[in-house]
Amino acid sequence: MNITIHRGTDQIGGCVTEYEHDGWKLFVDYGEQLPGYPKSKPLEVEGLNKGNLTKSALLITHYHGDHIGCIKDLPKELAIYIGELGKNIQLVLSTHLSYEDKNQNLIIERLNAAKVFSPGHPFSIGPFKIMPVTTDHSAFDAYSFKIEADGVSVFHTGDFRTHGFRSGKLDKMLDFYIGKVDYVVCEGTNVARPDSTSRSERELQSDFRKALRQKIGHIVYLSSTNIDRLFSLYHAALEARMLFLVDAYQKQIMDVVAKSNSLWSKSKLYQYDVNYPPTVPFGNGDDFTFNDKFVKTIKDRGYVLIARAYKKKFDKLIKELPGEKKKYLSMWKGYVDEKSGAYNKELAKALGSEYEYLHTSGHCDMKSLREIFRQLQPKAIIPIHTDNPNKFVELFCDEWNIMRLHDGQSILLKKSEQSR
């Protein structure tokens, strides 16, 4: 089995990995560069977007734009596979964005034709045997894959973490579904960000619970598809007897998860209290109305508002809501750092200078990566999805063979002794 990393050996966004054996090609992810960075150059890859596509397929690890955003450019003939709930979340997102970005209609078209897989249920594409396993990430329904062909096994991590609500049984999942492998193709997002995972999602929820002891208006800026954070704040507000305010799009995202048949959606964390569902204060379009009862309720009990910086309706709503207010940033700090390529002027303006930073990363810390490598015992590790591959080599070369590839480079993956 051969591997080619077409993009992602020295950047975080836009990874494209190809596995090839016996004339068949299996691609993992086809995304765009991160917001604020130069757009990725178009790729022309045999079996992906040109040539014979009958022996090719694309696996999507999750719905973040840097993993799925370029499927709009792919031929209709290419088979695409994705988790069912992730597909449904992306359909809501793309439908919402399509009013301003017509390219989203192409993503919707590709997703409607995509095939879905289920966690823990292996399937085959040509000579490739694939085991999808659900992992914890800031995108819900994210996956890693065990890929086997020609007697060689690879664990392709996708984006994941070990400090989320759903990561407590990761070691048991790896033992049961993955076992030992020959190679690990591993994300290294946080290799140069040692402080990004300083707290777990549970600790973060506890921090928000403490903050919500103040019966005021709590305005939180976060990604509307960060499912764990949305439901965590919803339940924190519920416990504090506060109103939880979202717009119709955010409510639709939460509804997709709450009504899903997925294993995780059955958890109480991802369910509503039937008597106190999220409140949508907006009417048609950007309009909103306050009656006397609503005003009295938020004055007496306080509220949590999930805000979006680039929507003026939120600025208007925040201005009109009565009483004391406090703002929070619950996403990566780089979005409000003028020195960052991902700097978001609208978000920085909406936040202002007075806010509290309450966030944790959707990606794994380096200590946990080391523990996972020891469990999987690969003969070699190939870093991707990192802007500092040399740091990855430096951190892990004491115990493992780190294969530092470059974009477009192909190598043969060989069987190890444990595979024979």
Q: What is the pLDDT of residues 388-419, one digit of tens each?
A: 999 999 999 999 999 999 999 999 999 876 55
Q: What is the mean pLDDT of the chain?
A: 93
Whether the pLDDT of residue 342 is over 80: the answer is yes
pLDDT given at position 9? 95
pLDDT band at 197 (very low <50, low <70, confident <90, very high): low
Beta bridge partners of 4: 18, 410
Contact at 8 Å (CB) between 329 and 306? no
pTM: 0.94
Query: For position 304, what pLDDT does the model report?
Result: 97
Amino acid 417: pLDDT: 62
- pLDDT score, position 183: 98
CB contact at 8 A, 357 and 329: yes
**Banded model confidence at residue 286, pLDDT cuts 50, 70, 90:** low
Residue 420: the pLDDT is 45
Which residues touch 98 (CB under 8 Å, ≥6 apart)? 104, 105, 108
pLDDT band at 328 (very low <50, low <70, confident <90, very high): very high
Phi, psi of 186 (to 5 degrees): -125, 135
Region 121-126: mean pLDDT is: 98
Percent above pLDDT 90 for the chain: 81
Say whether pLDDT at 179 is over 80.
yes
The pLDDT of residue 340 = 86
Residue 219 near residue 324, CB atoms below 8 Å: no
What is the pLDDT at residue 270? Answer: 94
Q: Which residues, at least 6 apart from 16, have a Cβ–Cβ distance to it below 8 Å? A: 5, 6, 7, 8, 27, 28, 29, 30, 31, 43, 45, 48
CATH domain 2-193+362-419 topology: Metallo-beta-lactamase; Chain A (3.60.15)
Q: Is 29 left (phi over 0), alpha (psi -120 to 50) or beta?
A: left
**Structure-token match 């049961």, residue found:** 176
The model's confidence at residue 196, banded by pLDDT at 50, 70 and 90, is low
- Looking at residue 265, its pLDDT comes to 80
Q: Is 357 helix (H, G, I), strand (E, B) or coil?
A: strand
In the chain, CATH 3.60.15.10 covers 2-193+362-419
Beta-carbon count within 10 A of 215 CB:
17
CA distance 95 to 248: 13
Return the closest-CA partner of residue 58 out of 95, 15, 9: 15
pLDDT at 329 over 60: yes
Secondary structure letter of residue 242 according to DSSP: -
C-alpha to C-alpha distance for 346 and 65, rounded to whole angstroms? 20
Lowest mean pLDDT, pick from 120-134, 217-231, 241-255, 277-291:
277-291
| Fold topology of 201-357 | Rossmann fold (3.40.50)
Query: Where do you find CATH 3.40.50 in the chain?
Result: 201-357
- Report whether pLDDT(274) > 50: yes
pLDDT at 34: 84
Kindly indicate the confidence band of residue 193, based on its pLDDT and cuts at 50, 70 and 90. Answer: confident
pLDDT at 192: 83
129/148 Cα distance (integer angstroms): 5
pLDDT of residue 284: 63
By CB atoms closer than 10 A (0-12, 13-18, 19+), residue 387 is middle
Residues 390, 70: Cα–Cα separation, whole Å: 27
